[in-house]
Amino acid sequence: MAKLIDGKVISAAVKEEVKAEVSALKQKGVTPGLAVIIVGEDPASKVYVANKEKACEASGMASFKYALPENTSEEELLALIQKLNNDSCVNGILCQLPLPRHLNEELIINSIVPEKDVDAFHPQNVGKIMIGNYDFLPCTPAGIMEMLKYENIDIEGKECVVIGRSNIVGKPMSMLLLHKNGTVTVCHSRTKNLKEVCKRADILVAAVGRANFVTADMVKPGAVVIDVGINRLENGKLCGDVNFAEVEPVASYITPVPGGVGPMTIATLMKNTVTAAKKQNNI
């Protein structure tokens, strides 16, 4: 039976560290500030933004929320980002994705100055991750690395398989595992013999966005299984990309959904905002 990697417990520990750092910065006259922009009425995005606001408040950070209507033009959004780029009270800027279709996501992300890009999506920050000389890490992969560290799971020399090659999770996740000397395979929709490839993994990260995609016959006995997926079933229940009931008896460690990777993403965002505040104030 697998040990649960509890994201709620680990994220609480990270948030306590952040709270202490914010308190220390305030004594130096610096209050870290995070600006979150949301365009439109996407229900999931609204929940994420509300959770980010709560986390800012709990840590003592300043929180700036900009809720824009669905029909906001690209020019209006770019003008707001430019204003926030120039605002010294704002250390981190996050534009909640996905954006409405008429807005160019790449253009919007690239307009956030790299030193305030606390999601680490700007090409300059992505390049820094590639060479291992980074200021920020994308929140979800960084949160996963924190979980592995917390559980003393050694990555060096291990076979690591990442299912999914998105710019937000899959690609940066593979880089972070590589930086810790894992032997990394990235799988995707064109991968042949996916089951056999996954079964080699000592550490398996599922970030494919398909409910219960990873089944017991894809998992090596004793593997560490990290489930990044969050999918809503027809009955309204949330589930991950891993069939938890099937895989849990086979794995040595597993993350639940909800309560696994999700809480770590917001905790890492808070951490990134503190890092940004320190760098911008030469602390």
pLDDT at 237: 87
3 is annotated as an active-site residue: no
pLDDT at 45: 84
pLDDT at 64: 97
* Residue of 52, 158, 171, 220 with catalytic role: 52
Question: Do residues 101 and 177 both lie within one domain?
Answer: no
Average pLDDT score over residue span 187-197: 96
Q: Are 34 and 4 in contact (CB under 8 A)?
A: no
The residues near 171 (Cβ < 8 Å, ≥ 6 apart) are 165, 186
List, for residues 134-167, the tens digit of each pLDDT value: 999 999 999 999 999 999 999 999 999 999 999 9
Radius of gyration of the chain (CA): 19
* Residue of 96, 135, 220, 227 with catalytic role: 96
Q: Is residue 13 domain-resident?
A: no
pLDDT at 256: 97
What is the span of the domain harbouring residue 53? Answer: 30-113
The residues near 144 (Cβ < 8 Å, ≥ 6 apart) are 173, 176, 205, 226, 228, 261, 264
Q: Is residue 56 domain-resident?
A: yes
Question: Do residues 190 and 252 both lie within one domain?
Answer: yes
Average pLDDT score over residue span 58-76: 97
Number of H helices, E strands in the chain: 10, 11
124 is annotated as an active-site residue: no
Residue 90 CA to residue 98 CA, distance in Å, equals 22
Angle of helix 139-150 versus helix 170-179 axis, rounded to 10 = 40
Question: Do residues 150 and 257 both lie within one domain?
Answer: yes
The average confidence (pLDDT) of the chain is 96
- Rounded to two decimals, the pTM is 0.94
Q: What is the CATH number of the domain that holds 221?
A: 3.40.50.720
pLDDT at 43: 82
pLDDT at 46: 86
Whether 276 has a pLDDT exceeding 90, the answer reads yes
Whether 92 has a pLDDT exceeding 90, the answer reads yes
Contacts 24+ apart (CB under 8 A), 194-202: 194/163, 194/218, 197/161, 198/161, 198/163, 200/159, 200/161, 201/159, 201/160, 201/161, 202/158, 202/159, 202/160
Whether 199 has a pLDDT exceeding 90, the answer reads yes
pLDDT at 47: 85
Whether 269 has a pLDDT exceeding 90, the answer reads yes
Q: Is residue 75 domain-resident?
A: yes
List, for residues 235-268, the tens digit of each pLDDT value: 888 899 999 999 999 999 999 999 999 999 999 9
Angle of helix 43-59 versus helix 7-27 axis, rounded to 10 = 50
Question: Do residues 143 and 216 both lie within one domain?
Answer: yes
Question: Do residues 173 and 222 both lie within one domain?
Answer: yes
Q: Is residue 120 domain-resident?
A: no
* Residue of 15, 116, 117, 119 with catalytic role: 119
Q: Is residue 184 domain-resident?
A: yes
Question: Do residues 106 and 187 both lie within one domain?
Answer: no
Question: Cβ–Cβ contacts within 10 Å for residue 248, how many?
Answer: 18
pLDDT at 232: 85
For residue 83, the Cα-to-chain-centroid distance in whole angstroms is: 26
Whether 42 has a pLDDT exceeding 90, the answer reads no
Q: Is residue 9 domain-resident?
A: no
Average pLDDT score over residue span 89-108: 96
Question: Do residues 94 and 175 both lie within one domain?
Answer: no
Asked which of 75, 95, 113 is the last residue of a domain, the reply is 113
Q: Is residue 95 domain-resident?
A: yes
pLDDT at 187: 97
Cα distances (Å, whole numbers) of residue 58 to 23, 51, 90, 143, 278: 12, 11, 18, 19, 19
List, for residues 211-244, the tens digit of each pLDDT value: 999 999 999 999 999 999 988 888 888 899 999 9
pLDDT at 233: 85
Question: Do residues 85 and 168 both lie within one domain?
Answer: no
Q: Domain tally for the chain? A: 2
Asked which of 48, 79, 113 is the last residue of a domain, the reply is 113
Whether 48 has a pLDDT exceeding 90, the answer reads no
Question: Do residues 185 and 253 both lie within one domain?
Answer: yes
Question: Do residues 81 and 151 both lie within one domain?
Answer: no
Q: What is the CATH number of the domain that holds 54?
A: 3.40.50.10860
280 is annotated as an active-site residue: no
Q: Is residue 132 domain-resident?
A: no
Q: Are 207 and 164 in contact (CB under 8 A)?
A: yes
Residue 119 CA to residue 137 CA, distance in Å, equals 7
Q: For 203, what's the count of Cα atoms within 13 Å in the CB-facing half-sphere?
A: 25
Start-to-end CA span in the chain (Å) = 46
Residue 63 CA to residue 104 CA, distance in Å, equals 25
Whether 44 has a pLDDT exceeding 90, the answer reads no
Q: For 208, what's the count of Cα atoms within 13 Å in the CB-facing half-sphere?
A: 22
Question: Do residues 96 and 144 both lie within one domain?
Answer: no
pLDDT at 150: 97
Instruction: Give the confidence band of 210 by pLDDT, cuts at 50, 70, 90.
Output: very high
Question: Do residues 38 and 91 both lie within one domain?
Answer: yes
